[in-house]
Structure 1
Amino acid sequence: MRGGIRIGSIYGISLYIDPSWFLILSILAVLLGNAYAKLSPSFSLGYGAITAILFFLSIALNKVAHGLMAKARGVEINSINIQFMGAANNVERESQDPFSVFSIAISGPLTSLFLSAIGFTTTWLIAGDAILSSNPKVIEALPSSIGTMRTIWTIIALYFAQINLFIGVFSLIPALPFEGGHILKAAIWKLTGDRFAGIRWAARSGQFFGILIMVLGGLILLNNFGGLFLIVLGWFMFGSAGGYLYLNNLQQALLDLNAEAAMTRDFRLVDADISLRDFADKFLLMEDKDANPIYVASANGRDRGLVSAEQIRHIDSHEWPSKSLQALIKPFDEIDTVELKDQISKIVSLLEQKQLRYVIVRSPVGSVAGVIDRGDIIKALDSKLLWRIPSEYIKQIKADGKFPPNFRLVEICEQLTQNNQ
C-alpha cells in the first residue's frame, strides 16, 4: 500500500508521496510556465513549478483531510500514500457502515472547495475588483495598474483557486477512485445492504469514466497538446478503478469460498495398527525422493490422527517390527484443523500465522474430509475468479509453500478478519 517516499507524519499517520509525482510535476511546470512567459521570460519555468507544487499541495491537503476524517470515524490509518489519482490509505480496519464511508469521502471535496475560496479571496485582495471583470483587456492591463510581481502572484493565487475548484467538483464524479465513487458506494451499500455491490458499481463507473476521459483527451489532442493530460488522467482512473474491482472480487471470493470448495483428497489413509516396519516398507520406501505425502492413521473405522512420518528416524530400526504406527500418531486435538464450512480467508490467516505447510479439514463426525495447502487455495480462487493460472505455477506454489506476494492474500485476509471482529 505504501511504495512511496516518506515525507513526514501528521497525528501519527505517516505520509508518503508516489514517485510518479516527479514526472507529473515536471510536465505541469512546463505547461503552466507558459502563462508567465510574457511577464517573466527568465523565470517563467520557476513560476510554473510553484504553481505545480501548489497543485500537489491541493491534492495532498485533500487526502490528508480524508485520512483525518477516517481516523475520526474510528478507521485506523497507518499511512497515506499521496498519489496522482487519489491516495492509498494503509488502514487497519475499513469503515463499518455507509455513513462513515460517506463522511470520509465528502471531507476531501469540502476541503478543496474551502481552499478554492481562500484562493479566490487572496486573488481579490491582491488585484481588487479588476480580477472579477470578464473583459480580457482589463486582465491584460493588470501589470500596468498593479505591477508585474503582483500580477504574477495574482495569477498564481487564481490558479490555486481554480485548481481546488476543479479538484473539489471533479472529485465528486460518481466513480472510483474519486470521493464521488465512494459516495456512490455508500449510497448503493445503504440501499442494498451489500458493501461489495457498492464497490462493484463504483469501480465499473470509474472504468467507464476513465475510458470516456481518454477518448475526450484523444479528441482534444488533435488540436491541443493539453489533451495529453486528460489521456493520462483517464488512464490512471481506469487502472485505479480496475484495482478496486480486483480487490473487491478477491475479498468476496475469500468470503464466499469455504474449505470444502478448496480441499483435496491428497492424503494417504493408513492402518494405525500396522507395525513401523510395514509402514516403512509399504509406504515410506515406495515414495518418490522429493515426495512429501500426508498420512492419516485410521483404526476401527475412525480417523485417529496425523502420522508424523519424519519421527520414525528417532526410533531404533530394530524396534520397528515390534512397535505399531501408534508411536507416530499425533491426535487431531493437538494440531490445527478447520471445518468444512470455514472461510478460505480464515484458512489463509491460519497457514501464515502458524507457518503450516497444509491444514487438515475435518467433517462434522470428526473424520478427515480433505487437506488444503496454499496451492489448493490459489487453484480455488483461480476457478472462482477465472484467473487462468497455469497448473505448473500452482504446483510451484505447493512446492514452495508460499503465497505469491503480488496476490496480497495475507494482507487482504488480515483486513477481512479485522473488519469482521
Structure 2
Amino acid sequence: MSNSIKIGRVKGIDIELNYNWIVIFLLITYMFANYYFPTYFKDWPQWVYWAEGAFIGIMLFVSVLLHELSHSLVSKHFGIAVNKISLFIFGGMAYIEKDADTPGKEFLIAIAGPLMSLFLSILFTVTSNVLALSGASEMISAPLAYIGQMNIVLAVFNLFPAMPLDGGRILTAAIWKIKKDRVYAAKIASASGTFFSYALMMLGVLNILSGNVLNGVWLIMIGVFIGQSSQASYQNSVFEKLFAGVLVRDIMTSPVITVDINTPASKLLKDFFFHYKHPFFPVQSGNEIVGIIMLKSLKAVREEDMDRITAAQLFQPLDGSFIITPDETAEDALRRLASNQLGRFLVMDEHGIAGILSKTDLIKYISIYNELHN
C-alpha cells in the first residue's frame, strides 16, 4: 500500500502528498490556534484562531510546493526529467531523474527554489503591509505577514551549504567548477551535510535538556533525515560515475529460467522456488512471456490443491514497471529499481526475454569495479 496520494499534475510532473504531512499540518494548526495568534491578537474569536492556523498550514504546503516546482521546471528546461514532487513531514522533494551535467546547470537548478521562496516572502510581506496601511483587518494582514516570514526562513535554511539542502548543491556546483570533479565535490558537500546533521541533533538534545522537548525532538528528527539524505546524495553521484556508459545488457543475468504456464503448484514449489531459490519466475505460454509468478502466490493454495492448481491460475500479468530493455543504461535501471517492488527487472527485447537484472547484478558490478580500481 502506498504511503502517498497523488493530488495533481503540473507540466507533466506528478504531485504527491505523503500521509505523514497531515501530522505537520495538524501541529502547525494547533500551535497557531492555541499559542501564536492568541498571544498577539487577544480579541479574536476562537474559531478565527483555528481558521488562521489552518490557513498557515495550507500556505506552508503551497510554499514548499512552489519551491520544489521551481527546481523541477528549471531541471526540465535543461532536459532533465522529473518523475514527481513529494510533500512530506520534513518538507518536500523533487525526484529529479539525474544530476546536471555541468556546474552551471547544477547551480541554476539549486538556486531556483530559494529564489522562489524569497519572491514569495517579498510578495506576502508587501501585500500584508499594504493591507495594514489601507486599514484592513489584522485577521487578513497578520497571517500574510507570517507567511512572508515563513518563506524567508525556508529560503535561508535551504541555503545552508549542506547536502541535501539547496545550499549543498550550490556548494557542489562551486567545487565541481573549481576541481573539475563532480564526485569529489559531492563528497565534500555530503560531509558538510553530515556535520550539519550532527549539529542539529546536538542542538535538539540541548533543547530537550532545557525542557523544550517538542523542538528538541523535531531538530533531532530533521538532523537524522539530513544525515541519511546527504549520504544518499553522495552515493548517487558515485553510482553515476560507476555506471557511466554501462548498459543493462552488460550486467544482466542470462539465460533466464522460465516456467511453463501449465506447471502445477507442487512442481513450482519443489522444482523452482526451493531448487533455485529465486523470488519469482517468468511464466511462458508457448514462445511468449505472459507474466510472472511469485512465491507469495502459492500461499493461498491449499495443500490438497497443489497438484490441480497451475501457474495459469496464479501468475501476475506483465506490468511495465517490471520490464526494462537491454539498451537502457545501468544508471537508469538503478533509479527505477528504487521504486520496483520486485527488486528485479525482466529484460525484454523484440525477441522476448533476454535476461534478468537485479540489485545483486548491480552490486556484483560495483564489487568488480572497486576491485579493479583500488
2:140 corresponds in structure 1 to 153
Q: Could you tell me which residue of structure 2 aligns to residue 180 of structure 1? A: 167
C-alpha distance in structure 2 between counterparts of 1:77 and 1:120, whole Å: 31
Q: CA deviation at 1:183?
A: 0.6
> Is 1:352 matched up with 2:347?
yes
Aligned to 1:50: 55
SS of 2:159's equivalent in the other structure is: coil
Distance in 2 (CA, whole Å) between partners of 1:227 and 1:346 is 39
- The answer (yes or no) to whether the contact 1:109–1:167 under 8 Å persists in 2 is yes
Secondary structure of 1:17's partner? strand
CA distance in 2, matches of 1:71, 1:10: 12
Query: Which of 121, 129, 132 is residue 124 of structure 1 equivalent to?
Result: 129
Match of 2:107 among 102, 108, 117: 102
Aligned to 1:196: 183
Distance 1:374-1:92 versus aligned 2 partners, 3 A rule: closer
Which residue of structure 2 aligns with residue 132 of structure 1? none
1:239 aligned residue: 228
Contact 1:217/1:231, CA 8 A, preserved across alignment: yes
2:149 to 138, 162, 171: 162
Note if contact 2:75-2:96 (Cα within 8 Å) is conserved in structure 1. no
SS at match of 1:234: helix
Structure number with larger C-alpha Rg? 1
1:223 to 186, 211, 221: 211
User: Does the 8 A contact of 1:32 with 1:52 survive in 2?
Assistant: no
User: Which AA in structure 2 matches 1:36?
Assistant: F
Give the letter for the 2:191 counterpart. Answer: R
Q: Quick one: structure 1 residues 128 and 218, their matched pair in 2 at CA, closer, same or farther if it must change by over 3 Å?
A: farther
Q: How many residues align?
A: 281
Structure 1 residues 162 and 228, CA, compared in 2 at 3 Å: closer, same or farther? farther
> Which one of the candidate residues 65, 68, 71 is aligned to 1:63?
68
How far apart in 1 are the matches of 2:184 and 2:43?
53
Deviations 1:321-368 (A, max 9, x none): xxxxxxxxxxxxxxxxx9xxxx9769999973454447xxxxxxxxxx
Q: Any unmatched runs of 5+ in structure 2?
A: 254-270, 277-325, 337-344
- Say which SS state the counterpart of residue 226 (structure 1) adopts: helix
Question: Does the CA-based 8 Å contact 1:85-1:177 persist in structure 2?
Answer: no
The alignment partner of 2:128 has SS state of helix
Question: What secondary structure does 1:352 align onto?
Answer: strand
- For 1:118-165, what per-residue CA distance to the aligned partner results, in whole angstroms no more than 9, with x for missing partners? 121122123239xxxxxxxxxxxxxxxx6xx82233321121011011
Task: Please state how far the C-alpha of 1:255 moved relative to its aligned partner.
Answer: 4.7
Aligned sequence identity (%): 29
Query: Alignment RMSD, CA only?
Result: 3.8
Mapped partners of 2:122, 2:28: distance in 1:
23
Q: Deviations over 1:186-242 (max 9, x none)?
A: 112111222222222222211221121121122123233433332332232222223
Give the secondary-structure state (helix, strand or coil) at the position aligned to 2:347. Answer: helix
Aligned residue type for 2:20: S
> Are the structure 2 counterparts of residues 39 and 237 from structure 1 closer, same or farther at C-alpha, using a change threshold of 3 Å?
farther
Residue 312 of structure 1: aligned partner = none
2:31 pairs with 1:27: no
Query: Quick one: structure 1 residues 345 and 229, their matched pair in 2 at CA, closer, same or farther if it must change by over 3 Å?
Result: closer
Describe the shift of the 1:346–1:68 C-alpha distance in structure 2 as closer, same or farther (beyond 3 A).
closer
Structure 1 unmatched ranges of 5 or more: 130-145, 265-288, 293-337, 359-371, 387-421
Residues 239, 331 of structure 2: 8 Å contact kept: no
Q: Could you state the TM-score of these two structures normalised by the residue count of structure 1?
A: 0.57
Aligned-residue offset at 1:73: 2.3
CA contact (8 A) 2:115 2:155 kept: yes
- Displacement after TM superposition at 1:380 (Å): 4.9
In structure 2, distance between residues paired with 1:63 and 1:344: 27
Listed one character per residue, the Cα deviations across residues 268-295 of structure 1 (whole Å, up to 9, x for unaligned) are xxxxxxxxxxxxxxxxxxxxx8788xxx
Given that residues 207 and 237 in structure 1 are in contact (C-alpha distance below 8 angstroms), is that contact kept between their aligned partners in structure 2?
A: yes
Closer/same/farther in 2, CA of residues 220 and 91 from structure 1, 3 Å limit: closer
Partner Cα distance (2:76, 2:10) in 1 = 11
Shift in CA distance, 203/374, structure 1 to aligned 2, threshold 3 Å: closer
Matches within 5 A, 1:327-342: none
Counterpart for residue 378 of structure 1: 363
